[in-house]
Structure 1
Amino acid sequence: MIKKFVNMPKGILIFLVLCLGIQTLRAQDMVDCTYLLEDAREAYEAGMVELVPELLLECIQSNGLSGEARKEAYKLVINSYIFDYLTAEADSLMDDFVREFPNYRAVNSDPQEFVFLLDAHLTALGIDPNLAPEDTGPEVVETKAPGYFARRNITKGAGEYGNTVGFNVGATLGISNKLEAYSVGDPGQDDGHFGLLPGFQTGAEANLILNRKLEASFGLLYNLNRFSYSASPLSSISYRYVEAQHQVLLPLSVLYKLNPEDRKICYYLRGGLVPSYLFHTSGKGTRSNETSQDDVVVDQTDITASRVKFNLDALLGGGVRIPLDNAFIFGEIRWTTRLMQVNKEDMRYQNNDLTWLLYHVDSDFRVHQLSICGGICWDLTKE
């Protein structure tokens, strides 16, 4: 009996030491999760949303945070899932959030998608999201500089958009490349060269999300490409020829977003192919003779039959997107280079007006094009 009485204080002491150790470990976990919450907040505001669940999920599951800090951790992870289109994960975590904080109601700083999801879960539990709970005190408002949450009600980040459709319009420059020279005189003595002329293009485009950084882009454009050709086929004769090509373009490309996490401006690169159909081409020109004061003018002539109708271009480009509410505007520079020859060799001398009045015959050539375009696209996935 005496032995048991002596050993009893030792057992109590051991029990107290164990309890103190457990509480110390829990306190350490709370401190660590507080630091992780700060890191997650900074990562989210910097746009690195994929890091947020890695930083905070364990803290949520292990009860490493409490009170407003725990509530903020939930919201950060849910919004990160929404941003990354991980709808199943966002839905599951929102279910836990609503069951743990049934009195939480959306505030002005909450993103719209978060509000939709929150209200849906509250409604599913039989709670009216428009009625404030009686036992809820005033919402604590953080007095920090406006970050992503504050801006989110005004605009979307370019990386947040789903499938989009829109239109663009732009100015173009036709740049032709001579492959082999031909002339009514001696091609070696003829200093014929192509010149630049402005054109334009307009049409529609659609963008399909592949993942967070990649999109497939499809377009249907009308394109007017113009260029000039000046030559001196004979010693006393020179002329200037102008051609206009009317095309339908079907650009097929992949778009790579360099910074989809940015909420103000998104830079991107584009690469692809552009099948084209040439439905009308016309040419005109003026011939001058040093021995005569009268120029010979050849009016606009249809030369569609002497051009290859179906062709293919390689496309490279880059641009910027600026987000709006449920849409974005964009500006882009594109370069297309023709992969095949433009003119038909067997039709080189078939247009009498151009050949014998203007003294122009086609050299073998390709056409390249520089375009500067802009437009607007609307999000098709807005709830």
Structure 2
Amino acid sequence: NGLSGEARKEAYKLVINSYIFDYLTAEADSLMDDFVREFPNYRAVNSDPQEFVFLLDAHLTALGINPDKSPEETLALTEDSKAPGYFARRNITKGAGEYGNTVGFNVGATLGISNKLEAYSVGDPGQDDGHFGLLPGFQTGAEANLILNRKLEASFGLLYNLNRFSYSASPLSSISYRYVEAQHQVLLPLSVLYKLNPEDRKICYYLRGGLVPSYLFHTSGKGTRSNETSQDDVVVDQTDITASRVKFNLDALLGGGVRIPLDNAFIFGEIRWTTRLMQVNKEDMRYQNNDLTWLLYHVDSDFRVHQLSICGGICWDLTKE
């Protein structure tokens, strides 16, 4: 109030930029709507921030003004030609990374990748040739994201995770077996998310890093043993081995993904890699399961389990505008 001409124009720009910087999308949109109606001949200059330019050009376009043409090439804007603000005319009201605090869910496929720390066997570990194999699993659950600043978010999750892997070995010269393990866990991923281009209105790329405390509530193992001197295989059905596994563990988490905006929500897709920081098996329980040890001839090696996951989901914005 009280300003006119160039001073009023600069005051508009200053306040709009401060709204954008403070992540006040609705306020920036509303004030930009007033700005382009009052100064329809203004065009972006090199000193204007990129986010300001994006918003200005979008509003000019919504009013039927080509932002790439000079004011002299553009017909004068009349009161009758005024249109609603850019965000009001679109269902997608925010950039792909410009949402406030959000909650949602995700679901994904996983691949368990085990790492042997020290080999054990009912025979000679050096001659056993035991190795882990890959098996698919899945995870699903909820997540919440808390805004820290324009590019950073704190992310919290609660996930059910099924991790599976196999182990094949030849503990004796004429005997081989294949063992399959399934681990059922509750995961509590805690991470920080860095948005690479939060203002983009089509897609936002981001990186993630953090820690994942986990609780293992059930583990089962099964397998089949073959003998070269016999045509009959020995089959060990699903056996509860939860007591031989460490219940509480911790993973390091790295990941990256994309967000695509919807109306007051976004969908996302992400690739995550978790590295187990502690050993999975309990050493004092190595020979405690008679079915696995004396029927299958399987003995736990010391190992850790890592996981690759591809997940996707949707999150809704909790911000009230």
TM-score class, shorter: 0.7 to 0.9
Does the 8 A contact of 2:25 with 2:94 survive in 1? no
What secondary structure, in the 3-state scheme, does the structure 1 residue paired with 2:79 have? Answer: coil
Q: For 1:291 and 1:120, locate their aligned partners in 2 and report how far apart those are by CA, in whole Å.
A: 77
> How far off its partner does 1:196 sit?
0.1
Cα gap change, 1:91 to 1:241, in 2 (>3 Å): closer
| Residues 2-40 of structure 1: per-residue CA shift (max 9 Å, x gap) | xxxxxxxxxxxxxxxxxxxxxxxxxxxxxxxxxxxxxxx
What secondary structure, in the 3-state scheme, does the structure 2 residue paired with 1:120 have? Answer: helix
> How far off its partner does 1:261 sit?
1.5
Matches within 5 A, 1:239-318: 239-318=177-256
> How far off its partner does 1:154 sit?
3.2
Cα gap change, 1:267 to 1:133, in 2 (>3 Å): closer
Does the 8 A contact of 2:33 with 2:85 survive in 1? no
Does the 8 A contact of 1:111 with 1:149 survive in 2? no
Cα gap change, 1:218 to 1:292, in 2 (>3 Å): same
User: 1:100 and 2:41 equivalent?
Assistant: no
> How far off its partner does 1:84 sit?
3.5
> How far off its partner does 1:124 sit?
27
More displaced 10-residue stretch of structure 1: 177-186 or 155-164: 155-164
Cα gap change, 1:255 to 1:151, in 2 (>3 Å): farther
Does the 8 A contact of 2:66 with 2:74 survive in 1? no
List alignment gaps of at least 5 residues for structure 2.
none
Cα gap change, 1:102 to 1:381, in 2 (>3 Å): same
What secondary structure, in the 3-state scheme, does the structure 2 residue paired with 1:368 have? Answer: strand
Kindly report the root-mean-square deviation, in angstroms, between the aligned alpha carbons of the 2 structures. Answer: 7.8
Q: For 1:107 and 1:378, locate their aligned partners in 2 and report how far apart those are by CA, in whole Å.
A: 35
Q: For 2:43 and 2:117, locate their aligned partners in 1 and report how far apart those are by CA, in whole Å.
A: 70
Q: For 2:319 and 2:70, locate their aligned partners in 1 and report how far apart those are by CA, in whole Å.
A: 30
> How far off its partner does 1:160 sit?
1.9
List alignment gaps of at least 5 residues for structure 1.
1-62
> How far off its partner does 1:140 sit?
3.9
Q: For 2:147 and 2:45, locate their aligned partners in 1 and report how far apart those are by CA, in whole Å.
A: 30
Cα gap change, 1:159 to 1:130, in 2 (>3 Å): closer
Does the 8 A contact of 1:336 with 1:368 survive in 2? yes
Does the 8 A contact of 1:105 with 1:132 survive in 2? yes
Partner of 1:116: 54
Does the 8 A contact of 1:230 with 1:240 survive in 2? yes
Does the 8 A contact of 1:170 with 1:202 survive in 2? yes
Cα gap change, 1:151 to 1:110, in 2 (>3 Å): farther
Does the 8 A contact of 2:91 with 2:262 survive in 1? no
Query: Percent sequence identity over matched residues?
Result: 96
> How far off its partner does 1:159 sit?
2.8
Cα gap change, 1:373 to 1:108, in 2 (>3 Å): farther
Greater Rg by CA = 1
What secondary structure, in the 3-state scheme, does the structure 1 residue paired with 2:87 have? Answer: helix
Does the 8 A contact of 2:181 with 2:222 survive in 1? yes
Does the 8 A contact of 2:92 with 2:264 survive in 1? no
How many pairs does the alignment contain?
Answer: 321
What secondary structure, in the 3-state scheme, does the structure 1 residue paired with 2:92 have? Answer: coil
Does the 8 A contact of 2:257 with 2:271 survive in 1? yes
Cα gap change, 1:115 to 1:234, in 2 (>3 Å): closer
What secondary structure, in the 3-state scheme, does the structure 2 residue paired with 1:158 have? Answer: coil
Q: For 2:244 and 2:216, locate their aligned partners in 1 and report how far apart those are by CA, in whole Å.
A: 11
Q: For 1:301 and 1:114, locate their aligned partners in 2 and report how far apart those are by CA, in whole Å.
A: 62
> How far off its partner does 1:370 sit?
0.1
What secondary structure, in the 3-state scheme, does the structure 2 residue paired with 1:189 have? Answer: helix
Cα gap change, 1:100 to 1:187, in 2 (>3 Å): closer
Cα gap change, 1:140 to 1:67, in 2 (>3 Å): farther
TM-score, length basis structure 1: 0.67
Cα gap change, 1:126 to 1:135, in 2 (>3 Å): closer
TM-score, length basis structure 2: 0.79
| Residues 157-201 of structure 1: per-residue CA shift (max 9 Å, x gap) | 123200000000000000000000000000000000000000000
> How far off its partner does 1:119 sit?
22
